[in-house]
Structure 1
Amino acid sequence: MPVSKSDPLPEHSSLKIVVVNTVNLQDDAQQPDADARAALEAQQARSRALRIGLLQAGYNIIASIPGDIYMIERIAQLQPDMIIIDAESDARDVLEHMVFATRDAPRPIVLFTEDGNPSQLAAAMEAGVSAYVVAGLQTDRVKPVLDVAMARFHADQKLRTELSDTKARLAERKTIERAKGYLMERHHLSENDAYQRLRKQAMEKNMKLVDLAQRLLDASDLLG
């Protein structure tokens, strides 16, 4: 199951990790020039360092999957706790898929790449990436990076929950205020008397005040 915003930070060895791989780790004799070969070698070195770092730290890698259009379905089936993207220089297509893969079940995402392009960084933030690591990956850095990503993800989820709760409270207050206004106008009550009537009826009916207020407003709409 994805990490819940209310759960404590799990031990890293218990995390179920899926690696989304966009890098060809096989030697490619068709590389057209020295620069392209050097870029491929750098990507391969980073990918190997990543996997060695994960294994040495004892992480539970449940799958390594390609970053294609079927990635969304595979992630839904695997239900990882964390997603690691091992990306080539341009991972924007993978990041676009990741938006849909984690839309309903957010998870910490870590992106390892050789590309520090600002446009890709913006796409990574849009996809909910918790840590973006460019070049120079060492095996002993893997665990600290993932620890930071997990902590950042939890902090972000907590903030989102607080914002959602605040919006919900404001919406409830607005509903109650509208219901009070209806009672004040219809029965010529003061604001306090209208509130006390709502509160008393809510207690008698064993309902939340906002639910009673909404029911009152719905009834008033039906009656015109």
Structure 2
Amino acid sequence: MAVLNVLVVDESRKRAAEICAGLACAGYQVAAVLSSAYDLHMKVEEIKPDVILIQTDSPSRDTLENMAAMDREMPRPVVVFANDSDSKTIRRAMKAGVSAYVVDGLEPKRIKPVIDVALARFEEHQELRRARDEARQKLNDRIAIDRAKGILMKLRGIDEDAAYHTLRKLAMERGKTISAVSEDFIATARLLG
């Protein structure tokens, strides 16, 4: 298994040095150390870490917004070690894409198990996202096909089965999916009024 690169974010240089030592002892490689999450999105794009570890008293609104933007475009497992145990803060952090939120500081011996949990939770979350996106796409495809069939049925005075076979034949002729042909057909019908 490859060594994971970890991006460390901590405003305290002393604490960051301790974290880096703990990561090295746990078998991880430190990709970089940042003093704030201000330009996290840009730094993640540049550094491409496997995991992000943030040590903070409490994640600020800006930090959470940066994490949410990063989570949408370049999701990564994020571990936050914080002193803030407020349930609203924890919920906001989890919604922003945090995989593990640990209260009451970071102990070097806890690094590996916490990162392991964050990786597992991140993978599970990504699988749920993929399943959701796939279901959404299937629904959108089904809607487009049904709309195109409806237009064909109205224009040609044919039944649903014949409309579907017409779309399927067009798809095969054009080397496209039925949903793509349906989208094209709907767009053409809109243009023609």
TM-score, structure 1 length as denominator?
Answer: 0.79
- In the other structure, the counterpart of 1:17 is 6
Conserved 8 A contact 1:49-1:138: no
- In the other structure, the counterpart of 1:157 is 126
Tell me whether 48-57 or 101-110 shows the greater mean CA deviation.
Answer: 48-57
Distance 1:203 1:71 in 2: 46
- In the other structure, the counterpart of 1:148 is 117
> Structure 1's 119 and 215: CA in aligned 2 closer, same or farther, altered over 3 A?
same
> Structure 1's 208 and 123: CA in aligned 2 closer, same or farther, altered over 3 A?
same
Distance 1:198 1:169 in 2: 17
- Shift of residue 208 of structure 1? 1.2
Distance 1:221 1:112 in 2: 54
Q: Structure 1 vs Structure 2: percent identity of aligned residues?
A: 36
Structural RMSD (CA): 1.9
1:94 aligns with 2:53: no
- Shift of residue 194 of structure 1? 1.1
Secondary structure at the aligned position of 1:106 is classed as coil
Q: Equivalent of 1:70, from 28, 39, 56?
A: 39
- Shift of residue 211 of structure 1? 1.3
Task: Map Cα deviations across residues 58-86 of structure 1 (whole Å, 9 max, x no partner).
Answer: 20101110115333322221111110001
- In the other structure, the counterpart of 1:56 is 25
Count of equivalent residues: 192
Distance 2:106 2:153 in 1: 67
| Letter paired with 1:91 | P
Conserved 8 A contact 2:78-2:100: yes
> Structure 1's 57 and 68: CA in aligned 2 closer, same or farther, altered over 3 A?
closer
Task: Map Cα deviations across residues 18-52 of structure 1 (whole Å, 9 max, x no partner).
Answer: 00113363xxxxxxxxxxxxxxxxxx5xx666433
1:221 aligns with 2:190: yes
Distance 2:63 2:182 in 1: 46
Which of the pair has the greater relative contact order for Cα pairs under 8 Å at 6+ separation?
Answer: 1
1:112 aligns with 2:81: yes
Q: Equivalent of 2:51, from 71, 82, 85?
A: 82
Counterpart mapping for 1:148-187 below 5 A: 148-187=117-156
Q: Equivalent of 1:196, from 165, 171, 175?
A: 165
Conserved 8 A contact 2:78-2:97: yes
| Letter paired with 2:6 | I
Runs of 4 or more above 6 Å deviation = none
> Structure 1's 216 and 96: CA in aligned 2 closer, same or farther, altered over 3 A?
closer
Secondary structure at the aligned position of 1:107 is classed as coil
Conserved 8 A contact 2:9-2:37: no
Distance 1:161 1:59 in 2: 28
Conserved 8 A contact 2:82-2:105: no
- In the other structure, the counterpart of 1:36 is none
> Structure 1's 214 and 136: CA in aligned 2 closer, same or farther, altered over 3 A?
closer
